[in-house]
Amino acid sequence: MTEEKKTIVTEEKRTIAAGEKKAIVTGGSRGIGRGIVLELAARGYQVVFSYNTDQGAAEKVTEEVRSKYHRKCTFFQASFQNKGAGEEFFHKAVDCLGGLDVLVNNAGVTRFESLTELKAETLEFLVQLDFMNYIRMMQSAACYMKEHGIRGSIVNITSSRGERAYPGDGIYGGCKAALNRAIESFALDLAPYGIRVNNVAPGSIQVRQPEELSGKRSFMIEVYRQLGQKVPLGRMGTPEDIAKAAAFLASEDASYITGVTLRVDGGLILPGMPERQVDANSPWGQY
């Protein structure tokens, strides 16, 4: 066989192998989750994702995946603030895919309340959705991968707020900080089975598509522009930025990386988010 034919055969095998990979993404109907679903599909994954309330948005994502990338893509409704919802969704997703190589935990909500105004329902809601469900989903995926001898990958979307404190984000930021620490131990738990666990920590991300920023939301265009100027790299992050980082950590290119939290924030928290502008030449400085 000639070297040229060997190369063609090798590329075909790689394409087939990529096409057989299967991924679960939570919260994949919009924003960062949508970006992750599309990026994984572009890389040859079959994807099952969850949505919470907007079925129409979920349908649009599946149509885009099928038309652009011709990959299997399905969704199920899941409200992860309810105990047991994560495990139920996981089993439906695995059954639909017929296997699992990658889990991306993305579904979550940001809520701000100061300690003196913190409501019990907010505390329970955030801890369940932004921490407990992540743990339970990771556990389900890890047990499945271990049982089936899959050297898979788990990626969680956390936040730069897990490292940098702001007023009112004690519970949300605390959940993300706990997740950053927890995966370090989980990485050690799963390393003997070849299963890797990592986090991606976004900074300020423009989660709304341009077409969504009309009417009552049009003011957000200027908000995003002004906030982007305060980021050291000079712009807001995009769902695609986070999706590419998550896909990298899930891939064989990151096969020697586990237990890390990769910050993807354009340098946002290096100097600290600004409380007020120092001067025109240093828009991100903070007193």
Domain limits for position 117: 16-264
131-160 residue pLDDT tens: 999 999 999 999 999 999 999 999 999 999
State how many domains the chain has.
Answer: 1
Q: Is 256 noted as a catalytic residue in this protein?
A: no
Q: What is the pLDDT of residue 31?
A: 95
Query: CATH code at 230?
Result: 3.40.50.720
> Is 271 within the bounds of a domain?
no
Residues with Cβ within 8 Å of 168's Cβ and at least 6 positions away in sequence, in order, are 112, 113, 114
pLDDT of residue 228: 87
Residue 285 lies in a domain: no
Q: How many angstroms separate the Cα of 23 from the Cα of each of 26, 87, 191, 204? A: 10, 15, 20, 26
Mean pLDDT by 10 residues, the chain (287 residues): 44 44 97 97 97 97 96 96 96 97 96 96 97 98 98 97 92 97 98 98 85 68 83 93 98 98 95 56 47
Q: Is residue 41 part of a domain?
A: yes
Domain annotation covers residue 274: no
Residue 200 belongs to some domain of the structure: yes
Nearest to 95 by CA among 166, 144, 149, 168: 144
Judging by DSSP bridges, how do beta strands 196-202 and 73-77 pair with one another?
Answer: unpaired
The predicted structure's pLDDT at residue 274: 54
Determine, yes or no, domain membership for 158: yes
> Considering 45, 172, 193, 287, which one is annotated as catalytic?
172
User: Is 148 contained in some domain?
Assistant: yes
Whole-model pTM: value is 0.87
Residue 133: both structure tokens together: 């469900």
- Domain annotation covers residue 52: yes
